[in-house]
Structure 1
């Protein structure tokens, strides 16, 4: 009896295996057909999308929407098929057993794929027939979108603040700020609709050197709609050492008030939406009759008037209501964007003047509209045909008020090449006014599959960087900081443009901002591809199994993980997961992530985690893995078996053992940060030939030989850091790069047992940024560093123990920024004539024996001089007009003096 049962079971299993093989073969053929068809659909959509946006034909819009949804559905079927296929490929005995345990489920899944593909074929046929039936068969035949890489990218990413037309207003505000007759704490409000230039005007005033020299304490805080009072108070404090994790609103308020009482302060509250914000914050701004000021920018005039009415004896509020630009001012601002760094009087070709005037008129004097439209036109060829198309696209006179700006923004969005639209919409996934790391954006775009393909010599990261540059050139985003290689480091988006992002993304079901757990749960057919959760919720009520991206929490604030408990496993097709949790008692890696085998981007900020489990290796598609967990103690070596892994950023934790990558190293790895030194440096590091950024901890002399040997084989390395190094031999490590041309950034933390830098002849000549800390050098490092021809950024903290330092004539030919700190023995610093002729920023901190500012500084074209923790005698000598060394720095426009108060010295 038992033997018959066993025979029956074996026969059934054999039949199932045969059936599975048949289904697998059929499933593969159908999915391959679907992949080809989806490629055709996507190509068609690129052209159809351009046609849709060139007119108001609702038939075309609806048809394109249906085709896009069908493409999404095809993508879902392919990913579902791949999910089943990948799950059955788990290695080992357990994988073999699971294959048979789930064999019935897999047969059902493959049957469903067959049915779904047939459904796609039916819908495609219906859509094809409907084109001719409803007279929309002419779409998809032409496209005006540029091919990737065809846009002339301008050499400079960061624009200077374009303030046109507000000179008189700036002068008035400046006078009100420095008016010595008005000793009351007063509020200056700048009011105007979105896009009028409130923030630009406020920044121009705030950065004015005469204004800055009139105040001891300065702070700029952006408020926005979803404000958090504790975060605003921390922003005013600015120095992280002034706050702690236990601070409440009450303790923060006391700290802010006490800080502001110490001197004359200027605080800017940018983008205030409600009177409630000012009413909550007013009490922390003390009035000690020293002429302190608060600037408030807002879209709503009643924000300040209501606040004043509610206050009992508030000092006077000075109102500045911004106007639209006149024709001359509009013309100047528009041409600045279309023809940057050219003469306004002669830059526009005569044949284009009439079109330029038409476009300027249609912006109605709104600065943001002029800037964005100018950015759009700057990407066009300078021909009448090209500009005529832009004029035609504006469809006559724009309507009044805010709608005028929305028309221009929509026009600029619609003009984007197809691949750039998705990249731009992704900005809606971030919080209002957030400063977004450029590399984060590019990696997310890559994970989502947004970036176009180019030639084999161009990396996907380079393509992403070009996309970011084009969005900046079109003035749809703003780059606010550059990297060492002049690529974008951080960027942000104007809140009106972000509003348009979210509006367009909702319409196309690109993303959804999840407000609370009482919302209606959408059906899969109308659900968004990205789900964004920034506010605290009790339970996630969202069951879209086709979700591609989940943003839970933000860079700055985490949310309780309990709301996601038992929910993550639903989203089987997730490609992107950013999870920031505020709970400190989560010690185990969320096990539901194990089933998310389509994940390409995983960013976890869960500070209670102790271990990364071995099943992390099951995430075979993972490209980016970022872990911010201060208490992490173990990271499974299976992480390094993921072949697609491109970027790994681990927490700097001394308790994590060095990685053991073995022979199956992730050869596509480009970024590796936070790993501890070990034997892998000699055995594995040389195999990581595509590595571009490397940061290692706990390097000692035991590793120095292997490290220098391995580094010589990493020809693409652009950034190298040693953090928490023990005493190490510097010569071999630095000279390992002497014959390489890619290394641009070098960061060395730790004592160097050689007390001087290697000779300039063997020092890497292509370095752009250097940061040395705790080096313990006994010979002047400037003798070597000043000869580096490409060096732009130099930071030396507790790196030199000598008493004298010399910057020689013609030294540092390209240096833009220099910071020296904790040179405790330094007594004399000499800057010879013609040294550092490009230097714009200088910071000197805690050099307690430095007697005076260098004489040669009077010849250096500084824009900013910052001092911190300097002795009283040093500070007294550079007091404005009265100090004996004032003549050396009187040409510097920006010298914050608030730090002088640490020594009881007040400016002016």
Structure 2
């Protein structure tokens, strides 16, 4: 009977396999068709995005929205198919084979649903196509609606005109500097002066104040003010300049206008202002019209982009405007609310608190303060009236100042299509947060925003894109790495608001906060592609099959709440990014193992003890970050069998070294928080793409292997080794070692007495930290040839510090070339 039962099971399995194969191949063909159709839709949406602001036709906007939603659905279907395919991959052996087919009936139902969904999408695409003709929807590039540019030009009058009284608040020092540069009689060369900043910071206001300054007016003979803006032609710009300076061209051609302008400008000392330059090539195309006759002529440009400023003058430092502080914000706001009144006494005491609340919302952005001040000036000076304005400000700024937000939106709308998704990701972070550039880029990569088929790594492309956002002044870099690239950045609150509004409209993300500011309805949350929750976790009590990213960065989560949350993860089958902070658990959330599409996993928990063996189920994982208050007792060997791993950061290392024998992680670039062990000799030399390495508990037993292995890591840019290595070994100093190393940290080498750096070793090193190496006698002689920018020496011996004393120490000559030296 047992044999008959086994035969029956095998027969039924065989029947199911046949049924599954028939449906599988049919569904696979349909999904392949859908993938091709999705690529077409994405190309259309990319084109539509570049033209969407050229129309006010709601029919077209709605039509594009429907197409975008269909593209989202198509992406969901494809990812669901891949999820089922990956889940069904057989494990070795008979038991694995049987387990692989235990759920065939359920999966047949899922595949049938995919078949139905693909057919529905196909029908919807056909209906959308037919509706364009039926309802007279023109092609996007054939519409003649009002463009966003023309709307932005209508907003210009809210800024002071050239002959108006201009409020210069917070710009006094910057104005003095620029005026001095303009009137400096010792500099007779023609000079370009750049004023740079994001929209609304006051570039034009400052330039106009300078342009009308009495000292400036006395110093020049010929003046011209020309607005460039986004959409320009060189011909039109030259016509405006010609008119301003009263040039008389023989014909309205670029050549004739340039010749006439140049001839006119040679007649005297000129000051030309080119306001709001958006493109790099504008200056190069206008350069020939501005002669340098060595009479001290000047050109001022205002721009949102640092690269534009650098093209115009490669030697001078641009004047980058800052946000106003609280005192300056208060003054500018009150000047607009109570014009021509004493700032010290104009605001009634009963309105002071409301004024502070409104000013805080503007976050020091001058244009926001001007627009909001103008709005408040139209209201009665009563508590009730001002309270209503404050309450309206609890929504997005656009509700009480659409003009301001639209001006800010110009920079966003000008972004290339590929940068818009990256920029909207800033909405996932808290206000005022300093955002790690490497974290941001890893998230972009996990989401699939960064191209992979290029000569550069995705991390290099990410840095390029971050630099472009910086040059456009949409974000601010707050700290830099050794190589000059961004380390931390931030986004202004109003621009973050803009990101969030745009993201919500496109179902890109939703933010849940347990207050009246960003509370989202459950229906909105279930449609979002990304969900960010800062306070409560109850929002997870629903199933969102479309979710791609989930961020929790709130208060401490108690164990009971964590158990509830853990059960919800199974509903997020298509999740690619999961970031959880402030958990209270010793166990890894078990339901995460079903998230096969996961590419980025960050888990910071109090008391976490181990990384489980099922971690290898996450076969697409690229970034794995674990933070805990204790040492991990165990890291499963299966972690090192995930071929897609690029970045592993264990924050606090495990009790034991990892078992990485016979592992080749060809994609691994970051390995931090691991203990030294036999893997150093066996595995480390094979990690040839490694860029960042942090090894703990290094001892004499690892010295030979570490010395040999490190020489093979030619891509290494950051090295941190902690332990008690004794001085008999030259680990980090050979003449050919570390050609790319930028940062080196040596911590806790208690027995290290001597260190030799051979000539030509570490030719790119910019940062060196020696921490608690009490027996190290002196600075290595070879350090004098290393191009350090920063040297930090912490908890070193008194003898060591005496030898490096400035000018008098025996070893001072070895480090006197280092501009930044810190001794603690």
Q: Same fold per TM (> 0.5)?
A: yes
User: Partner of 1:229 in structure 2?
Assistant: none
Pair 708,589 (structure 1): closer, same or farther in 2 beyond 3 Å: same
CA positional deviation for 1:768: 1.1
Give the whole-Å Cα distance in 2 for the aligned partners of 1:86 and 1:48: 34
User: Partner of 1:58 in structure 2?
Assistant: 58
Deviations 1:800-831 (A, max 9, x none): 4526324788xxxxxxxxxxxxxxxxxx6479
The answer to whether residue 286 in structure 2 is matched with residue 406 in structure 1 is no
CA positional deviation for 1:649: 0.1
Matches within 5 A, 1:548-563: 548-553=548-553, 561-562=562-563
User: Partner of 1:166 in structure 2?
Assistant: 170
User: Partner of 1:573 in structure 2?
Assistant: 574
CA positional deviation for 1:773: 1.2
Give the whole-Å Cα distance in 1 for the aligned partners of 2:530 and 2:553: 14
CA positional deviation for 1:520: 3.9
1:783 and 1:807 in contact (8 A); partners too:
no
Give the whole-Å Cα distance in 1 for the aligned partners of 2:142 and 2:647: 40
Secondary structure of residue in 2 paired with 1:735: coil
Structure 2 length normalisation: TM-score?
0.68
Give the whole-Å Cα distance in 1 for the aligned partners of 2:13 and 2:510: 45
CA positional deviation for 1:505: 0.5
Give the whole-Å Cα distance in 2 for the aligned partners of 1:835 and 1:648: 34
CA positional deviation for 1:79: 0.8
Deviations 1:266-319 (A, max 9, x none): xxxxxxxxxxxxxxxxxxxxxxxxxxxxxxxxxxxxxxxxxxxxxxxxxxxxxx
CA positional deviation for 1:568: 1.2
Pair 496,6 (structure 1): closer, same or farther in 2 beyond 3 Å: same
1:792 pairs with 775, 789, 793, which one? 789
CA positional deviation for 1:493: 0.4
Pair 380,105 (structure 1): closer, same or farther in 2 beyond 3 Å: farther
1:731 and 1:758 in contact (8 A); partners too:
no
User: Partner of 1:651 in structure 2?
Assistant: 651
2:470 pairs with 472, 480, 483, which one? 472
Deviations 1:133-189 (A, max 9, x none): 3344523799x9xxxxxxxxxxxxxxxxxx975255999xxxxxxxxxxxxxxxxxx
CA positional deviation for 1:832: 7.4
Structure 1 residue runs of 5 or longer lacking an equivalent are: 145-162, 172-193, 198-321, 333-343, 363-369, 383-397, 810-827, 846-908
1:471 and 1:477 in contact (8 A); partners too:
yes
Give the whole-Å Cα distance in 2 for the aligned partners of 1:371 and 1:20: 67
Secondary structure of residue in 2 paired with 1:502: helix
1:730 and 1:752 in contact (8 A); partners too:
no
Matches within 5 A, 1:305-320: none
User: Partner of 1:71 in structure 2?
Assistant: 71
Deviations 1:626-679 (A, max 9, x none): 000122211101001101010000032351x21112324321101000000000
User: Partner of 1:116 in structure 2?
Assistant: 117
User: Partner of 2:91 in structure 1?
Assistant: 91
Give the whole-Å Cα distance in 2 for the aligned partners of 1:652 and 1:795: 23
User: Partner of 1:200 in structure 2?
Assistant: none
Give the whole-Å Cα distance in 1 for the aligned partners of 2:754 and 2:240: 62
Pair 729,21 (structure 1): closer, same or farther in 2 beyond 3 Å: farther
User: Partner of 1:772 in structure 2?
Assistant: 770
Which protein has the bigger helix share? 2
Aligned length: 621
Pair 727,739 (structure 1): closer, same or farther in 2 beyond 3 Å: closer
CA positional deviation for 1:470: 0.5
Secondary structure of residue in 2 paired with 1:566: helix
Matches within 5 A, 1:277-676: 325=205, 328-329=208-209, 351=238, 374-375=304-305, 378=308, 402-453=401-452, 455=454, 457-516=455-514, 520-522=521-523, 527-538=527-538, 540-553=540-553, 561-562=562-563, 564-583=565-584, 586-631=585-630, 632-653=632-653, 655=655, 657-676=656-675
Q: Tell me which of the two structures has the higher relative contact order, counting C-alpha pairs closer than 8 angstroms and 6 or more residues apart.
A: 1
CA positional deviation for 1:833: 9.8
Secondary structure of residue in 2 paired with 1:101: coil
RMSD of aligned Cα (Å): 3.9
User: Partner of 2:14 in structure 1?
Assistant: 14
Give the whole-Å Cα distance in 1 for the aligned partners of 2:311 and 2:757: 50
Deviations 1:13-41 (A, max 9, x none): 22211111122222222222221221121
CA positional deviation for 1:427: 0.4
Pair 7,523 (structure 1): closer, same or farther in 2 beyond 3 Å: farther
Structure 2 residue runs of 5 or longer lacking an equivalent are: 148-166, 176-197, 213-223, 229-233, 245-271, 279-299, 313-370, 376-400
Give the whole-Å Cα distance in 2 for the aligned partners of 1:843 and 1:479: 23
Give the whole-Å Cα distance in 1 for the aligned partners of 2:814 and 2:639: 52
Pair 467,196 (structure 1): closer, same or farther in 2 beyond 3 Å: closer
CA positional deviation for 1:77: 0.6
User: Partner of 1:233 in structure 2?
Assistant: none
User: Partner of 2:27 in structure 1?
Assistant: 27
